């Protein structure tokens, strides 16, 4: 593994906030630390970045144990939630700033910064100041500033959380494309499941400072390790000790007879809740192609795909 985190533990006083965290990332892959607030994902990111002290365990990048190194000596770069851009500098000088400490001449710094701004699509904005940019453009400046110093590992601390939904969706695709183009090993922290599914090659799902499941997005979604994962990731219908995702159920001409209790319009899809004597308030996700009414009798197929929830 290009990046290894081995037996990471962290205490605040007598409160243990990380419990034997262990995972690895292959070179050029994007791993997402996913979980609810307070699960420890940002604490792990801060440990990798060197912003956290007094933890135990080892962090190894490209064969080098960096656990005892200060942040400025670690081969990582972080894009923070707040971006941390300098308002008095132009976009170009913001991106070039970190290169001052790597021994590059002024001409070299400008060339490298301009090349990176070309990659993130902001070359034509290089002479603007930060306040003249949109939120999405500011995010890309922060990304360019972190990438231009050529870190071995890029750390992303909920970088899209300050943006509106449409912009987040667009930038998820842009960041993933840039990450793949540069083949840079990346750790993304988020509580947004959609963000994790769209961007990650691998997901580490955390709860209360512990890893509860590691796998690719489809594995996490389709094969949850336990009840917490099944409930946290996506929507589900829980029936006894089994579950089924709403999109696995279909309204057809034959199947289990049910009555529609509620319909929620979501644009391209509908959430339909239906019941009968056996199943109560079952959620069914369908494309918005037909009209349905509360009280309507329907037939539902798919219950044979119920999956057992592991304890």
Contact of 209 with 57, CB cutoff 8 Å: no
Do 217 and 297 sit in the same domain of this protein? no
Do 150 and 284 sit in the same domain of this protein? no
Do 56 and 24 sit in the same domain of this protein? yes
Q: Give bridge partners of residue 58 from the DSSP assignment.
A: 6
Q: Is a pLDDT exceeding 90 seen at residue 193?
A: yes
Residue ending a domain, among 182, 209, 227, is 227
Range 124-132 average pLDDT? 95
What was the pLDDT predicted at 93?
A: 95
Do 24 and 107 sit in the same domain of this protein? yes
What was the pLDDT predicted at 311?
A: 64
Place of tokens 């135990």: 56
Do 30 and 98 sit in the same domain of this protein? yes
* pLDDT single digits (tens) 237-291: 988 888 999 999 999 999 999 999 999 999 999 999 999 999 999 999 999 999 9
Structural domain containing residue 244 = 236-308
Do 223 and 263 sit in the same domain of this protein? no
Q: How many domains does the chain have?
A: 2
CATH of the domain at 262: 2.40.50.140
Q: Is a pLDDT exceeding 90 seen at residue 159?
A: no
Do 31 and 50 sit in the same domain of this protein? yes
Residue ending a domain, among 167, 200, 227, is 227
Do 43 and 141 sit in the same domain of this protein? yes
Residue ending a domain, among 209, 227, 245, is 227
If you write DSSP's letter for every residue of the chain in order, what string do you get?
A: --EEEEEEEEEETTEEEEEEEEEEE-TT-EEEEE-STTSSHHHHHHHHHT---SEEEEEEETTEE-TTS-GGGSSEEEE-TT----TTSBHHHHHHGGGGGGT--HHHHHHHHHHHHHHTT-GGGTTSBGGGS-HHHHHHHHHHHHHTT--SEEEEESTTTTS-HHHHHHHHHHHHHHHHHHT-EEEEEES-HHHHHHH-SEEEEEETTEEEEEE-HHHHHHS-SSHHHHHHSS--EEETTEEE-GGG-EEESSSEEEEEEEEEE-SSEEEEEEE-SS--SEEEEEETTS---TT-EEEEE-GGG-EEPP-
Do 96 and 154 sit in the same domain of this protein? yes
Do 109 and 246 sit in the same domain of this protein? no
At 211, phi and psi to the nearest 5?
Answer: -80, 125
Do 262 and 210 sit in the same domain of this protein? no
Do 276 and 130 sit in the same domain of this protein? no
Q: Is a pLDDT exceeding 90 seen at residue 163?
A: no
């Amino acid at each position: 593994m290009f990046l290894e985190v081995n037996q990471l533990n962290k205490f605040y006083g007598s409160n243990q906030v990380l419990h034997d965290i262990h995972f690895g990332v292959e070179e050029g892959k994007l791993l997402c630390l996913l979980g609810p607030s307070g699960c420890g994902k940002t604490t792990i990111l801060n440990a990798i970045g060197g912003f956290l002290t007094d933890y135990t365990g080892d962090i190894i990048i490209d064969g080098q144990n960096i656990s005892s190194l200060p942040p400025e000596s670690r081969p990582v770069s972080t894009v923070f939630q707040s971006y941390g851009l300098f308002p008095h500098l132009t976009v170009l000088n913001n991106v070039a700033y970190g290169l001052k400490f790597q021994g590059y001449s002024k001409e070299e710094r400008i060339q490298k910064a301009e090349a990176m701004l070309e990659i993130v699509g902001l070359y034509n904005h290089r002479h603007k100041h930060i306040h003249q940019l949109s939120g999405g453009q500011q995010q890309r400046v922060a990304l360019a500033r972190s990438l231009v110093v050529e870190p071995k590992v890029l750390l992303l601390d909920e970088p899209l959380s300050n943006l509106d939904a449409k912009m987040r969706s667009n930038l998820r695709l842009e960041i993933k494309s840039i990450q793949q183009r540069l083949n840079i090993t990346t750790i993304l922290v988020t509580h947004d499941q959609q963000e994790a599914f769209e961007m990650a090659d691998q997901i580490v799902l955390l709860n209360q400072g512990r890893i509860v499941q590691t796998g690719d997005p489809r594995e996490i979604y389709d094969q949850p390790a336990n009840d917490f994962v099944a409930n946290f990731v996506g929507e589900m219908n829980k029936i006894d000790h089994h579950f089924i995702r709403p999109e696995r159920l279909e309204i057809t001409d034959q199947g289990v007879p049910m009555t529609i209790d509620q319909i929620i319009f979501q644009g391209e899809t509908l959430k339909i809740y239906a019941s009968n004597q056996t199943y109560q308030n079952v959620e069914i996700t369908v494309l918005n192609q037909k009209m349905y009414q509360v009280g309507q009798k329907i037939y539902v197929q798919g219950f044979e795909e119920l999956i057992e929830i592991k304890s």
